[in-house]
């Protein structure tokens, strides 16, 4: 596969997925990300059982994702900005989990055969990396941006139509009050709104004010449509939920 095709996959992967992020089956609901919970856990367990190769290759970060036709694992070793991509076509009806296991087994066999032949780990790793595609991609393709997410219920933010990125510690109260005023104008009973909707808005506003007295944030790292591997923790992380944005 050439670099242009790989870049097309990377670009397409940013679109909102309409299939299960674990098995690739079509989803019935627009907000669902997996067809069922055990589907997600099965892929996560399989990924975490097969981190030995990534460790042997000195992987700093990696991602795993798939299309209808192939599975792709991109990795970034320590000490380089070059991304190495391993791509395997999916057979008819083949699950991404099965294709990943085949890809992992093949690469692992190459590594161990060379390791046994030369007794040199670095030569085995070099041989595996030489078999990878080397697309012209920025390292940000596998290195996610850390995001500070407010440790407050998403339903509260949704009720006030508040984007998490706007809740900066420097202007918390201003943003919360502005969001409350905007929603109050739309839903206040005196202005033609429904009392029940306004009660939800008032409740969300009070909870946010209480949170703002001692605000806490959670650091979140990952991609919304790719499985992400961290070398320092030696574990895979499922795709993270997209942050909602409001006009």
pLDDT band at 100 (very low <50, low <70, confident <90, very high): very high
Residue-wise pLDDT tens digits, 157-215:
888 888 877 777 778 888 899 999 999 988 988 888 888 999 999 999 999 999 988 88
Contact 71, 99 (CB under 8 A): yes
Give me the pLDDT at residue 56, please.
95
Return the structure tokens found at 116.
């046994």
pTM of the model: 0.73
Give me the pLDDT at residue 247, please.
52
Residue-wise pLDDT tens digits, 44-60:
999 999 999 999 999 99
Percent of the chain beyond pLDDT 70?
Answer: 89
Give me the pLDDT at residue 13, please.
44
* CA gap 62, 142 in Å, rounded: 6
Residue-wise pLDDT tens digits, 62-87:
999 999 999 999 999 999 999 999 99
Give me the pLDDT at residue 6, please.
56
Q: What HEC string does the chain produce?
A: CCHHHHHHHHHHCCCCCCECCCCCCECCCCCCCCCCHHHHHHHHHHHHHCCHHHHHCCEEEEEEEECCCEEEEEEEECCCCCCEEEEEECCCCCCHHHHHHHHHHHHHHHHHHHHHHHCCHHHHHHHHHHCCECCCCCHHHCCCCCEEEECCCHHHHHHCCCCHHHCCHHHHHHHHHHHHHHHHHHHCHHHCCCHHHHHHHHHHHHHHHHHHHCCCEEEECCCCCCEEEECCCCEEECCCCCCCCCC
Domain 147-220 bears CATH identifier 1.10.3470: no
Confidence check: pLDDT of 241 > 90: no
Most confident of 19-28, 66-75, 211-220: 66-75
* CA gap 175, 177 in Å, rounded: 6
Residues of the chain with CATH 1.10.287: 147-220
Return the structure tokens found at 27.
């989803």
């Amino acid at each position: 596969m050439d670099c242009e095709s790989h870049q097309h996959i990377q670009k397409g992967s940013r679109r909102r997925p309409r299939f299960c992020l674990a098995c690739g089956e079509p989803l019935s609901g627009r907000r669902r990300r997996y067809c069922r919970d055990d589907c997600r856990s099965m892929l996560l367990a399989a990924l975490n059982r097969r981190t030995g190769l990534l460790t042997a290759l000195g992987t700093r970060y990696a991602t795993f994702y798939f299309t209808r036709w192939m599975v792709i694992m991109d990795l970034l070793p320590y000490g380089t900005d070059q991304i190495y991509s391993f791509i395997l076509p999916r057979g008819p009806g083949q699950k991404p989990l099965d294709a990943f296991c085949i890809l992992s087994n093949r690469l692992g066999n190459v590594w161990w055969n060379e390791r046994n032949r030369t007794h040199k780990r670095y030569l085995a790793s070099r041989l595996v990396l030489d078999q990878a595609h080397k697309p012209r991609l920025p390292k940000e393709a596998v290195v996610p941006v850390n995001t500070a997410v407010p440790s407050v219920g998403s339903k509260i933010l949704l009720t006030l139509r508040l984007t998490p990125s706007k809740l900066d510690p420097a202007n918390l109260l201003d943003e919360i009050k502005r969001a409350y005023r905007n929603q109050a104008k739309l839903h206040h009973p005196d202005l033609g709104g429904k009392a029940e909707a306004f009660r939800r808005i008032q409740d969300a506003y009070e909870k946010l004010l209480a949170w703002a007295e001692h605000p806490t944030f959670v650091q979140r790292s990952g991609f919304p449509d790719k499985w992400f591997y961290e070398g320092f923790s030696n574990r895979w992380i499922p795709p993270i939920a997209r942050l909602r944005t409001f006009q």
